Amino acid sequence: MRHDQAAGGLEIAVGTQAAGEVGTPQIRNVGTVGGNLNQRPRCWYFRNEEFPCLKKGGSRCFAVDGENQYHAIFGDGPCHIVHPSSLAVPSIALNARFRVAGPRGEREVAAGDYFLMPDRNLFGETVLEPNELLTHVIVPAPGAARNATYEVRFKQSHDWPIAFASVALQMQGGTVAEARVVLGAVAPIPWRSPAAEAVLKGQTMSDALAVKAAEAALADASPMSHNAYKVQVARTAVKRALLQAAAATA
């Protein structure tokens, strides 16, 4: 993942913390931001040709009664993938916009509207129409906002995260004026938490407030048979991202 350029002329300035964790240095050197944001799901049933699952036009989701330890804890299906992109999550926390080019010209889409749940696009994961490409990622200047991404992985080498969180805080002194809280690897799309944002707004940042916001972020989680452990992992990621962001220099 190069920060100065990428195939397709992408302008890049998103989440250096998240980008620095993607894959390995070799992968980051050849991977593109466009490829990262548009990468297909990691679900092992989806990737294995012997499983004709819903997302491939079949009649069932094999993860429901199967090996679902890395699958979604939000979203209620019918497909239970987690979105694989580490860059998608900070893009939404940072309120980025994506420029798309296709046969009918260019259009811009808010990062938060780019990724679609399976009930809106079962066979893809985004708003891209056939023959459209993502060409630019446009990130607003951060101003006084502080942000952080906190990821939890089984090992530090080349794993995708088990769960992670990206947050952006507009601070007025020690008080949170506005917050954007987005969770990753927990749902088919980056999962924004209005509940956590409401807990934070207008409050003085503290360990206790970060815990309360993290609890709100996971309150509606609905784990599958083998992934309840992800709820606490994600809760911890939210709390630590918030505390890191609040401590960051604006």
Ligand X SMILES: Cc1cc2nc3c(=O)[nH]c(=O)nc-3n(C[C@H](O)[C@H](O)[C@H](O)COP(=O)(O)OP(=O)(O)OC[C@H]3O[C@@H](n4cnc5c(N)ncnc54)[C@H](O)[C@@H]3O)c2cc1C
Interaction of residue 17 with ligand X, rule CB under 6 A: no
Binding mask 157-186 for ligand X (x = CB under 6 A): -x-x--------------------------
Q: Is 33 helix (H, G, I), strand (E, B) or coil?
A: helix
**Contact partner, 81, from ligand SF4, ligand X, none, Cβ < 5-8 Å per class:** ligand SF4
Q: Which of 15, 31, 34, 41 binds ligand SF4 (CB under 6 A)?
A: 41
Where do the DSSP E strands lie in 16-140?
97-102, 105-110, 133-138
Q: Find the part of the chain contacting ligand X (CB under 6 A) among 110-118, 126-134, 162-170, 188-196.
A: 126-134
Task: List the single partner that 180 binds among ligand SF4, ligand X, none, CB under 5 to 8 Å by kind.
Answer: none
| Count of other CB atoms within 10 angstroms of residue 141 | 6
* Long-range contacts of residues 111-120, Cβ cutoff 8 Å, at least 24 apart: 111/137, 112/190, 112/192, 114/37, 114/88, 115/83, 115/88, 115/188, 115/189, 115/190, 116/189, 117/75, 117/188, 117/189, 118/54, 118/55, 118/75, 118/77, 118/78, 118/79, 118/81, 118/188, 119/78
Q: Please give the torsion angle defined by the CA atoms of residues 152, 225, 124 and 41, in that order, rounded to the nearest 10 degrees.
A: 40
Q: Which range, of 49-57, 97-105, 135-143, 216-224, touches ligand SF4 by CB under 6 A?
A: 49-57
Q: Is 29 in the site for ligand X (CB under 6 A)?
A: no
Query: Between residue 34 and residue 53, which ones bind ligand X under the rule CB under 6 A?
Result: 34-36, 38-40
Distance CA 40, CA 125 (A): 8
Q: How far is CA 223 from the centre of its chain?
A: 18
Nearest to 62 by CA among 39, 45, 47: 45
When the beta carbons of 31 and 118 are compared against ligand SF4, the nearer one is 118
Cβ contacts of 4 within 8 Å, gap of 6 or more: 12
**CB-nearer residue toward ligand SF4: 55 or 239:** 55
Question: Could you tell which of ligand SF4, ligand X, none binds residue 158, using a CB distance below 5 to 8 A set by kind?
Answer: ligand X
The tokens describing 142, both together, are 């951060």
Q: Which is nearer to ligand X, 14 or 54 (CB)?
A: 14
Q: Residue 126: left if φ>0, alpha if ψ -120 to 50, beta else—which one?
A: beta
CB of 61 vs ligand SF4, minimal distance in Å: 3
Site residue total, ligand X (CB under 6 A): 21
| Window contacting ligand X (CB under 6 A); options: 21-29, 75-83, 204-212, 225-233 | 21-29
Q: Which is nearer to ligand SF4, 55 or 235 (CB)?
A: 55
* Contact set with ligand X (CB under 6 A): 8, 22-23, 27, 31-32, 34-36, 38-40, 84-87, 128, 133-134, 158, 160
* Contact set with ligand SF4 (CB under 6 A): 41, 43, 45-46, 53-55, 61-63, 71, 79-81
